[in-house]
Amino acid sequence: MDLLNTLVDKGLRRESPTREEALAVLATSDDDVLDVVAAAGKVRRHWFGRRVKLNYLVNLKSGLCPEDCSYCSQRLGSKAEILKYTWLKPDQASAAAAAGVSGGAKRVCLVASGRGPTDRDVDRVSDTIKAIKEQNESVEVCACLGLLSDGQAERLREAGADAYNHNLNTSESTYGDITTTHTYADRVDTVNKAHAAGLSACSGLIAGMGESDEDLVDVVFSLRELDPDSVPVNFLIPMEGTPLAKEWHLTPQRCLRILAMTRFVCPDVEVRIAGGREVHLRTMQPLALHLANSIFLGDYLTSEGQAGHTDLEMIADAGFEVEGAGEVTLPEHRAAVRGGGCGSHEGGAGCGSHEGGGGCGSHEGADGDAGCGSHAGGGVCAPAPAARAEEPRTDLVAVRRRGAGTDLAPNA
């Protein structure tokens, strides 16, 4: 397929595809999905080899968020029966982080629900970062606390934070349909604040909220322009008790096309499969490793993930290897630009898991209509694939009842 050959060539040169080419990837048929994965896999291997970076989430404060993000189980008015607790103490958070590190995670993502941190909250998180670094000096720490005020990113950096996550989630044109208590511009501003403070910026999207192909392409191109080191791709977990509980549109093939499109648009960036992979990719998760070079280990913020040992077995069986603590995630040209920050060491993984809405909207994600779009690049446009009718897999959605905020051992 001429389209895929063109995209591989561009990806190896770090050249952006056109919008039409990105739309064409999403419009390919299920019959062509293995060809799409193989092509995007060439770009992934060129920049990241067969390494898979493991990240681990610690939910510092769960529930009771004043924001109204429709996808989030911690939102204002949520009826989801999730864990609700106030701030973990530094030693509690450090113990939770240690479980992930012992399971192979090289980055710990500290997430807290809410619009954004107060100065006192920044002090709390700073103490937690220091406690984690005292136990695991080499571990990378990413904070995800919502919208940042002036000076807060610098304080987190001084405390030892390496990265900051704040997702764009969806396109600017449809953002108001998902959230009304803050704006798309607010999110862009926070990502820029992280950049300016020398933190490695992490920002991604949520697929599956009813968006169009054009929306998906818009948000990924916006992310390319923001130039984060890491782009988490979430697939909506439709949690009971949230406005999007009935949004079940994704198929495994659709998820693979979304990941491939993201890789082509952001060829040399750490692309992470975040929340929802177990629910929507299911048995095709190993194929997704040919597209993304990073995943979360174990559970998410408010929902359960795949067993940690199963993640490790999946990586090995698929012919990949867990990225070691001493290995640099980012390609050399990106790492050099980041100077001494986390980008030079790791590549800025950030948190970016959706299902619990960490700090003003860190999430998970799901699907959208698969329009055809024009094929600049010579690919043959298949009929609009439209998601297959499938019964919602509510059996795959489980509320987290272990780990942080409980007396039970975490899944790591």
Residues 383-411 have pLDDT tens digits of: 344 445 467 888 888 888 888 888 888 88
Annotated catalytic, 50?
no
Q: Within a domain: residue 401?
A: no
Q: For the full predicted model, state whether its pTM sits above 0.85.
A: yes
Q: Within a domain: residue 294?
A: yes
Annotated catalytic, 342?
no
Q: What is the mean pLDDT of residues 74-96?
A: 86
CATH number of the domain enclosing 67: 3.20.20.70
Annotated catalytic, 109?
yes
Give, as one character, the DSSP assignment of residue 323. P
Question: Could you give the CA distance from residue 297 to residue 100 in angstroms, rounded to a whole number?
Answer: 7
Considering the candidates 44, 75, 109, 266, report the single residue annotated as catalytic: 109
Q: Within a domain: residue 404?
A: no
Annotated catalytic, 272?
yes
Q: Angle 180-185-186 (CA atoms, 0-180°, nearest 5)?
A: 70
- Say what the pLDDT of residue 382 is: 39
Annotated catalytic, 144?
no
Considering the candidates 44, 124, 142, 277, report the single residue annotated as catalytic: 142
Burial 189-223 (b: 16+ CB within 10 A, else e): ebbebbbebbbbbbbbbbbbbbbbbbbbbbbbbbb
User: Tokens in use for 289?
Assistant: 């490793």
Annotated catalytic, 372?
no
The terminus-to-terminus CA distance of the chain in angstroms comes to 41
Asked if 113 and 62 touch (Cβ cutoff 8 Å), the reply is: yes
Q: Within a domain: residue 370?
A: yes
Considering the candidates 44, 124, 272, 338, report the single residue annotated as catalytic: 272
Considering the candidates 44, 72, 157, 334, report the single residue annotated as catalytic: 72
Considering the candidates 65, 144, 255, 342, report the single residue annotated as catalytic: 65
Q: Within a domain: residue 69?
A: yes
Question: Could you give the CA distance from residue 84 to residue 64 in angstroms, rounded to a whole number?
Answer: 7
Q: Within a domain: residue 393?
A: no
Average pLDDT, the chain: 87
User: Tokens in use for 180?
Assistant: 């009304």
Q: Within a domain: residue 260?
A: yes
CA distances from 217 to 163, 222, 388 (A): 25, 8, 21
- Residue span of the structural domain in which 332 resides: 2-386
Q: Scan for tokens 């204002």, then name that residue.
A: 76
CB burial class (10 A; 0-12, 13-18, 19+) of residue 30? middle
pLDDT per residue as tens digits for the range 364-389: 333 333 333 333 333 333 334 444 54
- Say what the pLDDT of residue 77 is: 77
Considering the candidates 69, 144, 266, 342, report the single residue annotated as catalytic: 69
Question: Could you give the CA distance from residue 191 to residue 230 in angstroms, rounded to a whole number?
Answer: 12
Question: Could you give the CA distance from residue 110 to residue 228 in angstroms, rounded to a whole number?
Answer: 18
Task: Say if residue 34's pLDDT is above 70.
Answer: yes
pLDDT per residue as tens digits for the range 118-140: 999 999 999 999 999 999 889 99
Q: Give me the percent of the chain exceeding a pLDDT of 70.
A: 87
Considering the candidates 44, 124, 144, 202, report the single residue annotated as catalytic: 202
The number of folded domains in the chain is: 1
Q: Within a domain: residue 406?
A: no
Of residues 319 and 70, more confidently modeled: 319
Of residues 91 and 73, more confidently modeled: 91
Question: 3-state class of 337 per DSSP?
Answer: helix
pLDDT per residue as tens digits for the range 270-306: 999 999 999 999 999 999 999 999 999 988 887 788 9
User: Tokens in use for 317?
Assistant: 């069986």
Give, as one character, the DSSP assignment of residue 387. P
Asked if 256 and 86 touch (Cβ cutoff 8 Å), the reply is: no
Annotated catalytic, 142?
yes
User: In 3D, which of 324, 255, 336 has the Cα closest to residue 290?
Assistant: 255
